[in-house]
Structure 1
Amino acid sequence: MEMRCYRRLLSISYKEHITNEEVRRRIENAIGPHVDLLTIVRQRKLKWYGHTTRSSGLAKTIMQGVVNGGRRRGRQKKRWEDNIKEWTGLELRNTIRIAEDRKEWKAVVRRSPMRPDGSQT
């Protein structure tokens, strides 16, 4: 969706064979340095995870709860926990312990890879 919006802003037709990297370069020239949409989503998701882990509400109960039964056949859908483990590089029990300390969790969010290729922004 982000690339579609960029291409529309730059009036690039879908028929033109212009790479995403070229589109990103043109956008950066037009508006200056910016943060990718996916990066913003990941940061907010990690921050919200830390926030709910420190709380004692229904969101924490739902997020850390266990449902009886198995999962369906086929490729499994990603869960919140899968994203948190992937982005932080930590096991779930460690993330819960770290998230209890707000300053420590902020440091984890800051140093976690924010782009799909693992590089920082």
Structure 2
Amino acid sequence: MTNNTNGFSTDIRVNGEKLVCVTRIAQTTAALAKLKTIWNDRNVALSSHIKLMRSLVMSIFLYACESWTLTADTERRILAMEMRCVRKLLGITYRDHISNEEVRNRTRQAIGPNKDLLTTVKRRKLKWYGHVTRSSGLAKTILQGTVQGGRRRGRQNKRWEDNIPEWTGMTLGAAMRKAERREEWRELVARSSVAPQRSTG
């Protein structure tokens, strides 16, 4: 179950997972499988495959990704899903026993430097945070508002805003002040939202 405010889904945690993000990964994987005939057609140029992947598959995944709270587990899931997509593009299966790092190298050789999916998600979220911070609407009131009472004891669930200090290296208050200055925030977003080092599995 989700609630929508201005097109963004609120986060609901189920067994430690972000339901919206995990569901979107499943939907994207299903869309990828439905286009199997196209991916297997070597008569279709790689550039066309890339355009189709971005418009028909990745667009499903990225819808309203600004609303997600990313945990280490969901980040791993995003990286794994992206690798499945890249392997489809290049016609490489896991039976070929080619490492993920080699797949990335071949991707760079085939289509040049490419912004990975996790970085795209992070940049979209940081850009939206800056946009809301500079606005004066309901979204800003909700984002910066406080609720009376304290958080429960024990291990805390990660909150949406917890990602901001993680990715910027700043306190939330400092990030909020920086976001008020559009150009400075734009430069910070470009530096901060870099995907973590990935395994070569």
- TM-score, normalised to structure 1, is 0.82
| Displacement after TM superposition at 1:86 (Å) | 0.6
Structure 2 CA distance for aligned equivalents of residues 15 and 64 of structure 1: 49
- Go from structure 1 to structure 2 and tell me whether the alpha carbon gap of 1:17 and 1:85 turns closer, same or farther (over 3 Å shift): same
| Displacement after TM superposition at 1:51 (Å) | 0.5
- Go from structure 1 to structure 2 and tell me whether the alpha carbon gap of 1:103 and 1:22 turns closer, same or farther (over 3 Å shift): same
What is the aligned length?
116
Q: Deviations over 1:74-112 (max 9, x none)?
A: 5x4332221110110000011111111112212221222
- Residue aligning to 1:63: 143
Structure 2: 5+ residue stretches without partners: 1-80
Structure 1 CA distance for aligned equivalents of residues 194 and 119 of structure 2: 5
Matched ranges for 1:18-97 at <5 A = 18-68=98-148, 70-71=151-152, 74=155, 76-97=156-177
SS in 1 for 2:105: helix
Structure 1 CA distance for aligned equivalents of residues 146 and 95 of structure 2: 48
Percent identical residues: 64
Structure 1 CA distance for aligned equivalents of residues 175 and 185 of structure 2: 8
- Go from structure 1 to structure 2 and tell me whether the alpha carbon gap of 1:10 and 1:54 turns closer, same or farther (over 3 Å shift): same
- TM-score, normalised to structure 2, is 0.52
- Residue aligning to 1:116: 196
Letter in 1 for 2:82: E
Structure 1: 5+ residue stretches without partners: none
Task: Tell me: higher relative CO, structure 1 or 2? Use CA pairs within 8 A at least 6 residues apart.
Answer: 1
- Go from structure 1 to structure 2 and tell me whether the alpha carbon gap of 1:77 and 1:12 turns closer, same or farther (over 3 Å shift): farther
| Higher helix content, 1 or 2 | 2
Letter in 1 for 2:137: G
1:2 to 82, 89, 105: 82
Structure 2 CA distance for aligned equivalents of residues 28 and 72 of structure 1: 47
